[in-house]
Amino acid sequence: MEELATLTRSAGAQILETVMQSRDRPVAATLIGSGKVDELKEKVRFLEADVVIFDNELSPTQQRNLEKALDAKILDRTQLILDIFARRARTREGQLQVELAQLNYLLPRLTGHGAEMSRLGGGIGTRGPGETQLETDRRRIHGRLRQIERELEKVRSSRSTQRRQRQAVPLATIALVGYTNAGKSTLFNHLTGAGVLADAKMFATLDPTVRHIVLPSKRRALLSDTVGFIRNLPTTLVRAFRATLEEVTEAELLLHVVDVASPHAAEQTAHVFKVLAEIGAEETRQILVLNKVDLLPGSDLDEQTVAQRILGEVHEHNPERVTAVSSRTGSGFEKLIESLDQMLGVDPVARALFRFPAGEGGPLHLLHEYAKVLRVEYGGDYTEVEAEAPESIRRRLASYMADQGES
């Protein structure tokens, strides 16, 4: 219920009352019992509430019956998340993905509602797909769905081409994953210097962002900030955001960000592991990033102790590395970047000795830019450089490499 309240506030609504009911089984017609319906009706009338939001997913019949009984707009969890996504999407791809999810969700709910279901208005839950008029018949809606799928297929094709181009160059891709509002965007900004929106609201960043980072070995890598996961993410959204989730499945390394200050950290972490398994990324190597450690008492504890204390049995998934950081203060970032450098297998780094003839400034500059130079000696006819260089640089400068036993 706390999470539902956070989602509701993220959508711009003011919460007037919270109501819970425990039942052995849901009522087919209204989900909740008739007595609870009467109680809600009185609360809606007394508080002059405009909207009643359910944490469960409602069937079209339940939604219609509740709207009739309570004389108020009824939203379920899925509609609420769709509305937030509609507000957050900025790129054309994101807007198409949200529209696709909205139409797939609303299509079975058009029966019996007609134009009433599709008119745009003020408040949450009323942000329709925009271009499509939902009061048109099903044939036109299905036509729009096919059109969106074609446009998204072009996006996926473009992403595939970009991915092949990236793979032609030895650049590893690192994806930030984690529960929504875990601090991924703040972490992303610290690592890349990007100006991605970092907000306490859920799904503050929806569209994925990719930036270059330079590791201590001078290797370049691509860091991708992805949409946050959430409990019971609607299946319509999972399908719609397939192209975005491909950035996670194709990454060589995942930075799994956990808000260790949250009282629900273990449950949220378990859910992220579950989603990663569902999209086929459970075998991808991970660094578990314990974020917001500055908010914990006894912050001098080591990472493994914090992970065991906060996550308990969930930590048995045993990521290869655990590191603690504070996105707010910047502590722990140096160790995190070193861990990234050590775990990336793309373009492996090795120590090598190079000899450049006097006047060969270009290759020497390339080595200084893309490798970690350890020693430089200037001779009469040549310059000798010892460096830790990525394999791609060693290949490009193979003609200048000297036998390690020569010097």
**For 254-262, what is the mean pLDDT?**
89
Task: Give the residue carrying structure tokens 């917001």.
Answer: 292
Residue 236 pLDDT: 65
Confidence band (pLDDT; 50, 70, 90) for 52?
very high
Confidence band (pLDDT; 50, 70, 90) for 86?
confident
Confidence band (pLDDT; 50, 70, 90) for 132?
very low
Residue 27 pLDDT: 92
1-168 and 170-343 share one fold: yes
**For 49-62, what is the mean pLDDT?**
91
Of residues 400, 366, 405, 406, the one with CA closest to residue 383: 400
Region of residue 324 (phi > 0: left; psi between -120 and 50: alpha; otherwise: beta)? beta
Residue 133 pLDDT: 47
Range with lowest mean pLDDT among 64-78, 104-118, 279-293: 104-118
More confident residue, 247 or 33: 33
For the stretch 192-240, pLDDT in tens is 876 544 444 545 455 567 788 888 888 888 888 877 777 777 666 666 5
For the chain, give the mean pLDDT: 79
Query: How far is residue 107's CA from residue 187's CA, in Å, rounded to a whole number?
Result: 38
**For 288-296, what is the mean pLDDT?**
86
Task: Residue 143: count other Cβ atoms within 10 Å of its Cβ.
Answer: 13
Give the three-state DSSP class for 227.
coil
Query: How far is residue 349's CA from residue 198's CA, in Å, rounded to a whole number?
Result: 34
Range with lowest mean pLDDT among 88-92, 170-174, 181-185: 88-92
More confident residue, 228 or 267: 267
Phi and psi for 224 in degrees, rounded to 5? -115, 125
> Per-domain residue ranges for the chain?
1-168, 170-343, 349-402
Structure token pair of residue 239: 């399908």
Give the ranges where 193-316 is alpha helix by DSSP (H): 235-240, 242-249, 265-278, 303-311
**For 332-359, what is the mean pLDDT?**
87
More confident residue, 313 or 15: 15
Query: How far is residue 346's CA from residue 337's CA, in Å, rounded to a whole number?
Result: 15
For the stretch 329-343, pLDDT in tens is 888 888 899 888 888
For the stretch 11-51, pLDDT in tens is 889 999 999 999 899 999 999 999 999 999 999 999 999 99
Query: How far is residue 204's CA from residue 85's CA, in Å, rounded to a whole number?
Result: 9
Contact criterion met (CB below 8 Å) for 134 and 118: yes
In sequence order, which residues have a C-beta less than 8 Å from that of residue 254 and are 6 or more positions away?
A: 174, 175, 176, 177, 248, 276, 281, 284, 285, 286, 287
At 386, which helix (H) or strand (E)? strand 382-390
* pLDDT-above-90 percentage for the chain: 17
Considering the segment(s) 170-343 as one domain, its CATH architecture is 3-Layer(aba) Sandwich (3.40)
Long-range contacts at 70-75 (CB < 8 A, ≥ 24 apart):
70/37, 70/40, 70/41, 70/44, 71/41, 71/44, 71/45, 72/44, 73/123, 73/125, 75/51, 75/124, 75/125
CATH of range 1-168; options 3.30.70.20, 1.20.210.10, 3.10.110.10, 3.40.50.11060: 3.40.50.11060
Confidence band (pLDDT; 50, 70, 90) for 270?
confident
**For 109-134, what is the mean pLDDT?**
51
Confidence band (pLDDT; 50, 70, 90) for 134?
very low
More confident residue, 127 or 360: 360
Residue 69 pLDDT: 93
pLDDT at 71 over 50: yes
Q: Torsion angle of alpha carbons 156, 161, 166, 167, nearest 10°?
A: 100
